[in-house]
Amino acid sequence: MATVEEPRAAEALFIRPDGKEKVTGLGRYTADLNLTGQAHAKLRYADHAHARITRVDVSKARALPGVLAVLTHEDVPDVKYGGMVQDRRLFAKDKVLWEGDVIAGVAALTAELAEQAVSLIDVEYERLEPVVDFAAAEGAPLVHEDWESDSGDDTMGRDGNRIGYSTIVKGDADAAMAEADVVVKGRYTTDCSQGVPIEPRAVIAEWHGDRVTVWSSTQVPYAARAGVATVLEIPESSVRIVVPLLGGGFGAKCDFHFEGHVAALARAARRPVKLVFSRREEFVAVDHRREGMVIELETGAKADGTIVAHRGRLVLDKGAYCGEGGFFAQMAAMHACGPYRMENIFVEASLNYSNTQPSSSIRAPTAPQTCWALEQQIDELAHALGLDPVELRRRTLIEEGAEGPTRQVFEKLGMKETLERAVEMIGYGRELPEDEAIGVACGWWPCFGAPSGAYVQLHSDGTGTIITGAQENGTGAVMAFPILVAEQLGMSPGDFSLLYQDTDAAPWDMGSCGSQTTFNSGRAAIAAAVEVREQLLDAAAAKLEVDREDVELVDGEARVKGAPETSVTIVDLVGEGGPFHGKGSGDVPEAPECDAEGCVGRLGMESFLAPQLITQAAHVKVDRETGVVRVLKVAAAHDSGVIVNPMGANGQVTGGVVMGIGQALTEGTQIDAEGRQRNPYLLDYKLTTAADAPEIEIAWVETPTANAGPKGSKGIGEPPCVATSGAIANAIRNVIGTPVRQLPMTPERVWTATREGNQ
């Protein structure tokens, strides 16, 4: 159950346009679609996490009646692709590098026939020792033997199994640490984990001549379009990506991958081809999971709590391929410093290849794990200083005029205000039973400036259509556009329909990732609406025979200011003088100035644009005899700028907190010594459900922010899960008297920490 502050009355009743079809079951997701004459696809995955391919025989599969196409690397262009490093092929060629590598694809008349054909493909291997321990990967045999020939960003710091290396250097951390009154150290390890969107991914491809249309459950259709064009060596103009209703993603459906396989199979089969993943494939075949990490931190402070020195060494598991996550080392290094004033810093982060599932953009990549470690260390520092953990945060959190890890000077922000709101809501400091406690954690997340575009057009019945390249995967961010456009045109949000998720219809957008939809695409929608507004004002001034400056748009009418009885409806204006349409992109804000001259691995995240600030407080109950933790309440206070759609924003925080609870207590992928997942099913991978969710109280600290998005807004999708694990960890520590240094904090790990801490 979530309790929230009352939303502003003018915005509270806005109903999202896609709501009715979703809740009634009328909506159609990709897996619901069927095309006339379609075939069904299945993929043959690797039998090993690391092996050399010595033979692939598909003759039996091709001979099976009902099989229309069988493809291997020999049947498609020999093209390497990837995000920041081009290090993979559509079908494995010489080696397999993780258990989800695709050896072959089959298209057949039925899914059952395709599955049978896949089982008939004979593959022989020379097994190689897999690199599973990513923390030791830099001294292990190479995952990519030819890594130097792979094109990639030269600033990443690639070297063998190390795909990225980034540092944050400020002052002299070694010298300052020697002068500290108190020094605390900690080593923290985190399991990798999954995004687990409930909708399985699905792809359908159909060719018309030399042009292919792909229906896909992707968060990034424009990246998918570029990927299909690259691997099939066709122009992007020959690829259309359409996203039907999208049933969640959490980043797991970012980047390009399976659209290329299905498009290639459809071309070979000469008919539409459909692929729908099983639940097991959703775990083991997708190339997006949250990265495992090893985090070593050391923090020194003066007796008054001033943090004079901070050192960190982080190692991240990238898995077998880079994808679009090559910047994770830099992000992790920034989060290892957190939203605190620190005078001297040296943090280094390595992003390493391994023969396991690739990690990539799962909701707020690197932030929840790093925040979980740092926030435990901040509490340990407070205990060592004899200070209350909240008081230490009051003394050290960033505020206006403070200097960040890379000497970014912050303008007005609400970090400390979120702290005060969260502790107030949770009732911090009150007496509790001995098996209950409250923990507090703070975090931050940047906004990502990116180009975007939108069109707005009005119709003769007084309604309008907003055409955008932005994506909707349950966040509701796209649903803010009618609010923003209606405000410019003096209309109601309900007057507007949305046309989106079709690369042929709308301008380019980076996709549903980085909490950027309202921040960037909302700015574009406003710019397009302003063009229409100017057209309406010109038409109304001519119609009413007044100066243009005397006209205002209100309640579906153009009125003369001070004489509202002199008016004309927008319906009449459009009917007499249309069409009215506009296009816009908006200005992309630049990253704030900083001084990162001493840092390496600079990939554009040296400073945080319009930072989002988070404080969450968790009230938990711990059974010391079993290690079972129950979260009773979470108080979440966020500075995400001005809230455009309160109902949608509150939903994001509620969902993010629930996801964060799962990451804190139950969600972790278990990998065996051979690099295989041991728990790729929902029975063994425990999600937090509605039945497990505690009371969640939400407050917004709406702070005017430089370079913010529409109406002063910032991103909102990712921050809600950043601080949850840290708050729960600190609450557990306050019950059992010792930190839990492995994530997730399962009953076994809590029980073990309790025993070891009491010895």
Residues 224 and 105 in one domain: yes
State the pLDDT at residue 11.
47
Unique residue bearing structure tokens 């003759």:
59
**Per the domain annotation, does 147 fall within a domain?**
no
- CA–CA separation, 398 vs 396, rounded Å? 7
The region, left, alpha or beta by phi > 0 then psi within -120 to 50, assigned to residue 429 is left
* 42 pLDDT higher than 90: yes
Residues 404 and 485 in one domain: no
**Per the domain annotation, does 482 fall within a domain?**
yes
- Contact between 524 and 586 under an 8 Å Cβ cutoff? The reply is yes
Residues 408 and 464 in one domain: no
Spatial CB neighbours of 27, under 8 Å, sequence gap ≥ 6: 18, 21, 245
State the pLDDT at residue 16.
75
- CA–CA separation, 488 vs 531, rounded Å? 10
Angle in degrees, CA 650, 654, 659, rounded to 5: 145
The average pLDDT across 593-605 equals 91
Spatial CB neighbours of 520, under 8 Å, sequence gap ≥ 6: 448, 449, 450, 451, 452, 509, 510, 586, 588, 709
Pull the structure tokens for residue 185. Answer: 């150290």
Interhelix angle 724-736/747-757, rounded to 10 degrees, is 40
* 12 pLDDT higher than 50: no
Mean per-residue pLDDT over the chain, rounded: 94
- Which stretch of DSSP H or E encloses residue 80? none
pLDDT tens digits, 126-157:
999 999 999 999 999 999 999 999 999 989 99
Name the β-bridge partners of 109: none
Residues 578 and 701 in one domain: no
Residues 415 and 485 in one domain: no
**Per the domain annotation, does 269 fall within a domain?**
yes
Q: Which of 398, 196, 214, 368 is nearest to 291 (CA)?
A: 368
Task: Using a pLDDT cut of 90, give the percent of the chain over it.
Answer: 88
Three-state SS for 733? helix
Three-state SS for 361? coil
State the pLDDT at residue 203.
98
Pull the structure tokens for residue 416. Answer: 């400390």
Q: Which of 598, 549, 541 is nearest to 573 (CA)?
A: 541
pLDDT tens digits, 614-633:
999 999 999 999 999 999 99
Q: Which of 130, 76, 141, 134 is nearest to 103 (CA)?
A: 76
Domain that holds residue 54: 30-128+199-247+254-284
- Which stretch of DSSP H or E encloses residue 93? none
Residues 464 and 558 in one domain: yes
CATH number at residue 548: 3.30.365.10
Burial 672-694 (b: 16+ CB within 10 A, else e): eeebbbeebeeeebbebeeeebb
- Contact between 480 and 470 under an 8 Å Cβ cutoff? The reply is no
- CA–CA separation, 237 vs 225, rounded Å? 9
Three-state SS for 67? strand
Alpha carbon of 253 to those of 22, 225, 324, 334, 544: distances in Å?
A: 19, 14, 12, 25, 52
- CA–CA separation, 582 vs 526, rounded Å? 10
Alpha carbon of 705 to those of 278, 455, 649: distances in Å?
A: 44, 27, 18
- CA–CA separation, 269 vs 114, rounded Å? 13
- Contact between 100 and 284 under an 8 Å Cβ cutoff? The reply is yes
CATH number at residue 62: 3.90.1170.50
Please state whether beta strands 464-468 and 496-500 pair in parallel, antiparallel, or not at all (unpaired).
parallel
Residues 432 and 545 in one domain: no
State the pLDDT at residue 7.
43
pLDDT band at 20 (very low <50, low <70, confident <90, very high): confident
- Contact between 653 and 661 under an 8 Å Cβ cutoff? The reply is no
Q: Which of 22-26, 272-276, 388-392 has the lowest mean pLDDT?
A: 22-26
pLDDT tens digits, 536-590:
999 999 999 999 999 999 999 999 999 989 999 999 999 887 789 999 998 889 9
- CA–CA separation, 325 vs 331, rounded Å? 10
pLDDT band at 13 (very low <50, low <70, confident <90, very high): low
**Per the domain annotation, does 178 fall within a domain?**
no
- CA–CA separation, 621 vs 629, rounded Å? 6
- CA–CA separation, 202 vs 703, rounded Å? 41
Unique residue bearing structure tokens 């396989």:
261
**Per the domain annotation, does 189 fall within a domain?**
no
* 458 pLDDT higher than 50: yes
Name the β-bridge partners of 682: none
Unique residue bearing structure tokens 């990238």:
318
- CA–CA separation, 119 vs 13, rounded Å? 54
- CA–CA separation, 705 vs 447, rounded Å? 11
**Per the domain annotation, does 591 fall within a domain?**
no
Residues 442 and 483 in one domain: no
Residues 507 and 615 in one domain: no
**Per the domain annotation, does 153 fall within a domain?**
no
* 728 pLDDT higher than 90: yes
- CA–CA separation, 286 vs 362, rounded Å? 12
State the pLDDT at residue 759.
45
pLDDT band at 5 (very low <50, low <70, confident <90, very high): low
The average pLDDT across 723-749 equals 98
* 9 pLDDT higher than 70: no
SS (H, E, C) 186-200: EEEEECCEECCCCCC
pLDDT tens digits, 173-207:
999 999 999 999 999 999 999 999 999 999 999 99
- Which stretch of DSSP H or E encloses residue 606? none
Unique residue bearing structure tokens 């219809």:
505
- CA–CA separation, 219 vs 259, rounded Å? 12
The average pLDDT across 353-370 equals 96
Residues 632 and 744 in one domain: yes
- CA–CA separation, 525 vs 143, rounded Å? 45
Q: Where among 569, 584, 599 does a domain terminate?
A: 584
**Per the domain annotation, does 419 fall within a domain?**
yes
Domains identified in the chain, total number: 3
Q: Which of 250, 246, 257, 175 is nearest to 223 (CA)?
A: 257
| Rg, C-alpha atoms of the chain | 27
Angle in degrees, CA 578, 579, 581, rounded to 5: 130
State the pLDDT at residue 403.
96
pTM comes to 0.96
Residues 501 and 473 in one domain: yes
Amino acid, single-letter form, for residue 693: A
Unique residue bearing structure tokens 């924003």:
649
Q: Which of 503, 710, 754 is nearest to 610 (CA)?
A: 710
Q: Where among 584, 618, 649 does a domain terminate?
A: 584
Residues 369 and 490 in one domain: no
- Contact between 216 and 30 under an 8 Å Cβ cutoff? The reply is yes
State the pLDDT at residue 758.
58
